[in-house]
């Protein structure tokens, strides 16, 4: 099968959707399928040499408590058309298609089987409340819908209509389960280590809650340390520590994929104190695959990943005192940590890409049966008078979107 995957976020900026698209593509290729990716990037030279096409640069805009990519215009439309024409795809799979991005452009311009995965989740979305009715006519072209969680599914059903099958984010379990640890750190040593991974300057990630909890942890567990990995301003973070906590906190900065796996194999406990805006929680699965017991805020998405506390410990979000009690008890109990490690390994197996890719392929086969024809681009040069069979939504497209310069 020839498959086109569309990532709306900058490929050379680390993020969950980028990793999802990359790992799905790698797994599908391993199963013998031909996969091409269309994605924006800050710099074209940062893209892989093969099977990834540059869609240009995208502008970051606030969305779902994080930053989404805005990419919409005649140049982008031209690139989308060219990619669709050259790809000869049996199915095109777009990710996060609602915001104005390359994913939405593909929904507008592609003719043929389209599958979409929805990642975002929130209690409510003012953006989708206002924008959803505008884009709904083009999103109705999507033949198969996937959501990475029940929460993400509910959000898109409420604002965009239609339903979606839930297929969660995946992990290459073996890549996290086996390998080296970080130099100087060893799980089970006399200096117990708590790990945090994420954009620590994003309030929704909840690092200040963990820092407050760690003040109690370092008092009651001598030698305990906190390893913080991810992007952010280290000077701003150090200003939050104070003299009591600073000696116990190590900033690792942004990690490569191999170093991230080594980091998760090194910590005695992985902590996710997030406050809001998480649609899934792939890092929880990665931590479980690496054998780290998980302590996480009781967000809906996290509770589902951790099977309501059977595969990890859930703590009321924002409650630093409760988090401190859980961490102190867990660091003092090797037996309890071993129980959580075993439960985490079992749960992580449910999210292995070898299993999930087959579920995604089943969606593809539903919307693009063998012999069903390939995806094409919209007509380059429609007549001035639109024919009756032109989709109603397309009659409101600007001329540049229907044609595109140099298309």
- HSE, side-chain direction, 13 A CA sphere, residue 345: 11
- Taking every pair of Cα atoms in the chain, the longest distance, rounded to a whole number of angstroms, is 78
Run of H or E residues at 23: helix 16-30
pLDDT tens for 46-73 read: 999 899 999 998 876 655 555 555 676 7
Instruction: Give dist(CA 259, CA 249) in Å, integer.
Output: 18
Residue owning tokens 């990995």:
229
3-state class (DSSP) for residue 353: helix
Q: What is the DSSP letter of 179?
A: S
**Stated pTM of the model:** 0.79
Do domains 2-170+353-402 and 174-349 share one topology? The answer is yes
Q: What is the DSSP letter of 352?
A: B
Residue owning tokens 């606030």:
62
Q: What is the mean pLDDT of the chain?
A: 87
Would you identify the CATH topology of the domain 2-170+353-402? Answer: Rossmann fold (3.40.50)
Residue 39: pLDDT band with limits 50, 70, 90: very high
pLDDT for the residue 163: 87
Pairing outcome for strands 66-70 and 59-63: antiparallel
pLDDT for the residue 275: 95
Tally the residues of the chain. Answer: 407
Instruction: Give dist(CA 386, CA 246) in Å, integer.
Output: 67
Q: How far is CA 342 from CA 66, 137, 355, in A?
A: 33, 47, 20
Instruction: Give dist(CA 371, CA 335) in Å, integer.
Output: 56
How far is CA 113 from its chain centroid? 23
Expressed in angstroms, the distance from the first to the final Cα of the chain is 26
Residue 58: both structure tokens together: 């995208």
Strands (E), 143-293: 144-147, 165-166, 193-197, 225-229, 249-253, 269-272
Answer whether residue 199 shows pLDDT above 70: yes
- Of 33, 27, 25, whose CA–CA distance to 2 is shortest? 33
Residue 87: both structure tokens together: 């790809």
Domain ranges of the chain: 2-170+353-402, 174-349
pLDDT tens for 345-404 read: 999 999 999 999 999 999 999 999 887 789 999 864 433 334 334 455 554 455 555 544
pLDDT tens for 146-176 read: 999 887 888 777 767 778 999 999 999 999 9
Answer whether residue 405 shows pLDDT above 50: no
Summarize the confidence of residues 169-187 as an average pLDDT: 94
Does the domain at 174-349 match CATH 3.40.50.2000? Answer given as yes
Left, alpha or beta for 272 (phi > 0: left; psi -120 to 50: alpha)?
A: beta
Percent of the chain clearing pLDDT 90 (strictly above)? 68
């Amino acid at each position: 099968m020839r498959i086109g995957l569309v990532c709306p976020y900058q490929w050379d900026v680390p993020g969950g959707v980028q990793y999802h698209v990359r790992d799905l593509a790698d797994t599908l290729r391993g199963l013998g399928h031909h996969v091409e990716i269309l994605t924006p990037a800050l710099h074209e030279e940062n893209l892989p040499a093969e099977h990834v096409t540059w869609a240009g640069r995208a502008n970051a805009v606030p969305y779902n408590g994080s930053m989404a990519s805005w990419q919409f215009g005649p140049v982008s439309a031209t690139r989308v058309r060219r990619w669709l024409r050259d790809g000869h795809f049996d199915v095109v799979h777009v990710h996060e298609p609602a915001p104005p991005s390359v994913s939405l452009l593909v929904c507008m311009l592609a003719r043929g089987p389209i599958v979409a995965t929805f990642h975002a989740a929130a209690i409510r979305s003012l953006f989708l409340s206002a924008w959803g009715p505008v884009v709904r006519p083009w999103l109705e072209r999507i033949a198969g819908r996937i959501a990475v969680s029940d929460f993400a599914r509910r959000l898109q059903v409420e604002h965009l209509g239609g339903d979606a099958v839930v297929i969660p984010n995946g992990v290459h379990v073996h890549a996290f389960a086996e390998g080296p640890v970080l130099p100087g750190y060893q799980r089970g040593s006399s200096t117990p280590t708590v790990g945090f991974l994420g954009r620590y300057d994003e309030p929704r990630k909840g690092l200040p809650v963990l820092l407050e909890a760690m003040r109690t942890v370092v008092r009651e567990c001598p030698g305990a340390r906190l390893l913080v990995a991810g992007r952010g301003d280290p000077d701003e973070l150090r200003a939050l520590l104070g003299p009591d906590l600073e000696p116990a906190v190590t900033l690792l900065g942004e990690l490569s994929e191999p170093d991230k796996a080594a980091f998760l194999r090194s910590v005695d406990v992985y902590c996710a104190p997030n406050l809001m805006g998480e649609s899934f929680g792939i890092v929880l699965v990665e931590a479980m695959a690496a054998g780290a017991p998980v302590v996480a805020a009781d967000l809906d998405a996290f509770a589902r990943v951790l099977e309501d506390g059977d595969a990890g410990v859930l703590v009321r979000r924002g409650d630093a005192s409760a988090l401190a009690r859980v961490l102190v008890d867990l660091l003092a109990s090797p037996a309890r940590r071993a129980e959580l490690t075993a439960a985490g390994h079992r749960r992580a197996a449910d999210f292995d890409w070898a299993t999930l890719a087959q579920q995604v392929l089943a969606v593809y086969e539903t919307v693009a049966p063998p012999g069903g024809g390939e995806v094409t681009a919209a007509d380059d040069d429609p007549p001035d008078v639109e024919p009756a069979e032109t989709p109603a939504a397309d009659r409101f497209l600007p001329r540049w979107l229907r044609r595109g310069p140099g298309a």
